[in-house]
Amino acid sequence: MMNRLRQLPFISKKANWLGWFITTHLTLTFIIILFLIGIGVNPTLVLSVIAAPLWLAVAFTSRWITDKIMED
């Protein structure tokens, strides 16, 4: 069953996209958190609701980078 699902191109393409998106998102998030902590911003503030626009920007940037990676 799983081998047949892997052979379906639309499932394989979506799985690749999702994997790249998660990798890109986690990498960008990690870099931003380290940078902000490095310049002295309170980590609780960085991860709180106040920083929500920052995390929305990270999500949209991750989507854009993933789309560029997945272009044929």
Model confidence pLDDT, tens digit, residues 20-53: 899 999 999 999 889 988 999 887 887 787 788 8
**How far is it, in rounded angstroms, from Cα 13 to Cα 61?**
20
At 57 the pLDDT is 92
**How far is it, in rounded angstroms, from Cα 61 to Cα 46?**
18
At 6 the pLDDT is 57
* 38 CA to centre of own chain: 21
* 12 CA to centre of own chain: 19
